Chains A and B, each alone.
Chain A
Amino acid sequence: MSKPIGIEVSIAVAEAVGLCDVDVVAAYPITPQTHIVEHLSELVADGHLNAEFVPVESEHSAMSACIGSSAAGARTFTSTCSQGYALMSELCYIASALRLPIVMAVANRALSAPINIWNDHADLMYARDTGWIQLISENGQEAVDLSVLAFRIGEDQRVAMPVQVNLDGFTMSHVVEPIEIPDKEEVMKFLPPFKPKYRLDPANPMTFGAVGMPDIYTEARVAQDEALKATKPIIQELFDDFAKQFGRQYKLIESYKTEDAETIIVMIGSMAQTAMSAVDAMRAKGKKVGIVRIRVFRPFPAAELFEAIKGAKNLVLLDRVTSFAGGEISGPVALEIKSVLYDKGIAPKTGNFLVGLGGRDVTEQNFEEMVDRVASAKNGDLPAYEFINVRE
């Protein structure tokens, strides 16, 4: 087992991808993803990574080249965010429908306009219905581990799906953290060579991407849906395998101090780190608060989430994104959680807060304000959502 070193998270993610012995990287630069792809091209240029780096002319071509590469049978990686994701999104639906295990790191960034290079989850939410598996990291170590896991999960023949590894732009991508970079041998033991069932091979010609008329389109979609549904236990199984090899255990849902919590804050991403400090401070004052963080956003682990939050009287549901729906329904993360609660027939008090947009900090104080707001409100008084930390 190697020792933690101080390393920028982007560089560490690129190192992890390099350790996975990726065959092809096709990428286009966009802040704050750049350090990931820069370091990968360095690894190739210096001979540390035997891969083809395809410096494409757009994110659209990045995902197109990744599809060609993965369909040809190569282990394939790309990285993007924000506008870049929006440009390539057309192809993301196709990558998943073709069941290609491309891995993509997304250094989450706000969408224009106004143009803004800083962090929120607009790109992550933009991607949620594309049929990709979405993993969301909280810190640098997790971003590294999930990058290795992404290849293992996606390439598992029971899965055969593209996988997104989300890490918050700047707040994670550009900070130096103590990270344990796994040993190459250990990674190779954990990650068998990529052996797809089908590939573009003249020795065994196959047609990829055929036309689906109305008599078959529904069945094709059902097949893809069934396949994604089947991945949830496999993802946990592979998380467990990872723990056996590397000693770090991941779950679909992460809970922090929820055992006796009256109020639970539910969120995704790196703001959970600040939230944990806030929870510790609130608990010192006698407030029974806990955190649930969703690590796997697609497939959505509804049963696990329900188990994690069912004991709470109050739920603080956070969305790091605006969703323009006219003001009468909540943001996307809150909507998913409310849907789970409704299906299970329970109705705790919920408040939905839109926070941290376009790089705005979410402070410990903000967490306490939101917790107090929901705890003190009368049921039915809270609006569908509220923006937090808005300048007057």
Chain B
Amino acid sequence: MGIASDALKNFKGFNLKNMPEVEPVSPGHRACQGCGEVLALRQAMKAIGTNAVVCSATGCMEIITSPYPQTAWRVPWIHVAFENAAAVASGAEAAYKSMNRKGIINQPDVTFIAYGGDGATADIGMQALSGALERGHNMIYFCFDNEAYMNTGIQRSSSTPFGASTTTSPAGKKSSGQSTWKKNMAEIAVAHGAPYVATATPAYPIDLMNKVKKASLVPGPAYIHIYSPCPTGWRCGIDEGIEVARLAVQTKVFPLYEVIDGEYHLSRKVAKPKPITDYFKPQRRFRHLTETEVKYIQDRVDAEYEKLIKKCVVEEKKKEKE
């Protein structure tokens, strides 16, 4: 048994009957209407509770929760810069470790959290994240992935999906939008040997909260990649964000899975996948795509999903043998 599976052997999850009432992120923040990211943040923090120290990257979740003299945070929270949330959390975690050992404080059970958007995680902050994962700090990193630099006005990141039109990958006569495939950050976290890695989305809140809770129980670094719909940037209706996120799972675009001690577990099998066009339709960022381009993307989505299933199947077969 690995350290993560050992820590999770008696895990009891949340369900609709035992949802925690605590709201570490309070209402009254300044997110856009229909923001899926702040919903994901709220769900994640509900699962964590109040015995936490939170380190925020610059981005939407930073500015909408902390316009001085107001704050939406009921837990200690620090924002330093764009690219360094993981390093700031490393320092806070090391401080608590040292001060607890020296008897300066007696607070051994604090959960350390760093979070950033996809730009803060997959682009500018990847080095700091890699360092923190490699050093093995006991902390959780959340990437709230809304697939572009939304805070600065919908510029492309390395997490923007192929074909999406953004303000710096605009569709035009000579462009079909983003010309590169989305960087797979969860796989990069797995490659660091992090004991717990998962993907989640606020369209499946219980699944998201259980993964966050598990991440908090596992000693060492945990990474959760949270697919966070952004109606403003994806150009869908403000009441459609969650539906789009659900379709991302149902079309295999964003599969939900966990990697516990390096073992892959599919959280939600997509037995009868919907066509990717169902997912594209509500989002104007994809509306310029031709049939050929849609097929090209569909093929890639299918292939990526198959690769993931194979990793999970290998695991299940191994269990059968045991």
Q: Which positions in A face B, CB cutoff 8 Å?
A: 23-24, 26, 50-52, 54-58, 60-61, 64-74, 76, 90-91, 94, 98, 193, 199-213, 216, 220
Q: Tell me the bound Cα distance from A212 to B71 in angstroms.
A: 12
* Cβ contacts B71-82/A at 8 Å (1 or 0 each): 101111111110
Interface SS majority for chain B: mixed
Q: Tell me the bound Cα distance from A216 to B63 in angstroms.
A: 15
Chain B residues lying within 8 Å of A206, measured Cβ to Cβ, are 76-77
Given A52-B95, A73-B95, A210-B79: A65 and B53 within 8 A (CB)?
Answer: no
Residue of B nearest to A209 (CB): B79
CB distance from A86 to the nearest CB of B (A): 15
A202's partner among B50, B55, B80 (CB-CB below 8 A) is B50
* Cβ contacts B52-87/A at 8 Å (1 or 0 each): 110110000011001111010111111111011001
CB distance from A60 to the nearest CB of B (A): 7
Residue of A nearest to B53 (CB): A200
Chain A residues lying within 8 Å of B94, measured Cβ to Cβ, are 24, 26, 52, 54, 65, 68-69, 74
Chain A residues lying within 8 Å of B312, measured Cβ to Cβ, are none
Chain A residues lying within 8 Å of B79, measured Cβ to Cβ, are 208-210
Q: Is B97 an interface residue (CB 8 A)?
A: yes
A64's partner among B50, B56, B62, B91 (CB-CB below 8 A) is B91
A-B contacts, 25 of them at CB < 8 A, read A24-B95, A26-B90, A26-B91, A55-B135, A61-B128, A64-B84, A64-B88, A64-B128, A65-B90, A67-B80, A68-B78, A68-B89, A68-B95, A72-B53, A72-B96, A74-B95, A74-B98, A74-B99, A91-B81, A91-B84, A94-B81, A199-B76, A206-B77, A209-B56, A211-B63
| A-contacting residues, B116-148, CB 8 Å | 127-128, 130-131, 134-135
**List of 7 A-B pairs having minimum Cβ-Cβ separation, nearest first:** A68-B91, A65-B91, A57-B131, A64-B87, A74-B95, A72-B95, A61-B87
Q: Is B15 an interface residue (CB 8 A)?
A: no
Q: Is B102 an interface residue (CB 8 A)?
A: yes
CB distance from B281 to the nearest CB of A (A): 36
Chain B residues lying within 8 Å of A211, measured Cβ to Cβ, are 62-63, 66-68
Residue of A nearest to B70 (CB): A210
CB distance from B30 to the nearest CB of A (A): 10
- Contact A56 B90, beta carbon cutoff 8 Å: yes
CB distance from B176 to the nearest CB of A (A): 36
A213's partner among B52, B67, B98, B107 (CB-CB below 8 A) is B67
B76's partner among A51, A69, A202, A212 (CB-CB below 8 A) is A202
Chain B residues lying within 8 Å of A64, measured Cβ to Cβ, are 80-81, 84, 87-88, 90-91, 128
Q: Is B16 an interface residue (CB 8 A)?
A: no
- Contact A51 B98, beta carbon cutoff 8 Å: yes
B77's partner among A61, A205, A216 (CB-CB below 8 A) is A205
Residue of A nearest to B84 (CB): A64
CB distance from B99 to the nearest CB of A (A): 6
Chain B residues lying within 8 Å of A213, measured Cβ to Cβ, are 67-68
Chain B residues lying within 8 Å of A24, measured Cβ to Cβ, are 91, 94-95, 98
- Contact B127 A202, beta carbon cutoff 8 Å: no
Chain A residues lying within 8 Å of B76, measured Cβ to Cβ, are 199-202, 204-208
Chain B residues lying within 8 Å of A216, measured Cβ to Cβ, are 68-69
- Contact A210 B68, beta carbon cutoff 8 Å: yes
Q: Is B311 an interface residue (CB 8 A)?
A: no
B92's partner among A60, A69, A205, A210 (CB-CB below 8 A) is A69
Chain B interface residue count: which class? 35 or more
Chain A residues lying within 8 Å of B63, measured Cβ to Cβ, are 211
Q: Tell me the bound Cα distance from A157 to B115 in angstroms.
A: 31
Residue of B nearest to A195 (CB): B104
Chain A residues lying within 8 Å of B66, measured Cβ to Cβ, are 207, 209-211
CB distance from B300 to the nearest CB of A (A): 32
Q: Tell me the bound Cα distance from A94 to B82 in angstroms.
A: 12
CB distance from B128 to the nearest CB of A (A): 5
From A60, A72, A76, residue with most partner B Cβ within 10 Å: A72
Q: Tell me the bound Cα distance from A197 to B284 in angstroms.
A: 50
- Contact A209 B80, beta carbon cutoff 8 Å: yes
* Cβ contacts B231-257/A at 8 Å (1 or 0 each): 000000000000000000000000000
Given A51-B98, A91-B81: A68 and B87 within 8 A (CB)?
Answer: yes
B51's partner among A52, A73, A202 (CB-CB below 8 A) is A202
Residue of A nearest to B55 (CB): A68
B131's partner among A58, A193, A199 (CB-CB below 8 A) is A58
Q: Is B31 an interface residue (CB 8 A)?
A: no
Q: Tell me the bound Cα distance from A206 to B74 in angstroms.
A: 8
CB distance from B94 to the nearest CB of A (A): 4
- Contact B105 A61, beta carbon cutoff 8 Å: no
Residue of B nearest to A53 (CB): B94
- Contact B78 A208, beta carbon cutoff 8 Å: yes
Residue of A nearest to B101 (CB): A50
Q: Tell me the bound Cα distance from A55 to B87 in angstroms.
A: 11
- Contact A57 B84, beta carbon cutoff 8 Å: no
- Contact B84 A61, beta carbon cutoff 8 Å: yes
Chain A residues lying within 8 Å of B68, measured Cβ to Cβ, are 210-213, 216, 220
Q: Tell me the bound Cα distance from A236 to B93 in angstroms.
A: 35
Chain A residues lying within 8 Å of B99, measured Cβ to Cβ, are 23, 72-74
CB distance from B207 to the nearest CB of A (A): 26
Instruction: A56-B87, A202-B107 are known; give 5 further A-B pairs, CB within 8 A.
Output: A52-B98, A64-B81, A64-B91, A207-B66, A207-B73
Given A64-B80, A94-B80, A209-B78: A202 and B91 within 8 A (CB)?
Answer: no
CB distance from B158 to the nearest CB of A (A): 19
Chain B residues lying within 8 Å of A90, measured Cβ to Cβ, are 81
Chain A residues lying within 8 Å of B74, measured Cβ to Cβ, are 205
- Contact A73 B105, beta carbon cutoff 8 Å: yes
Chain A residues lying within 8 Å of B96, measured Cβ to Cβ, are 72
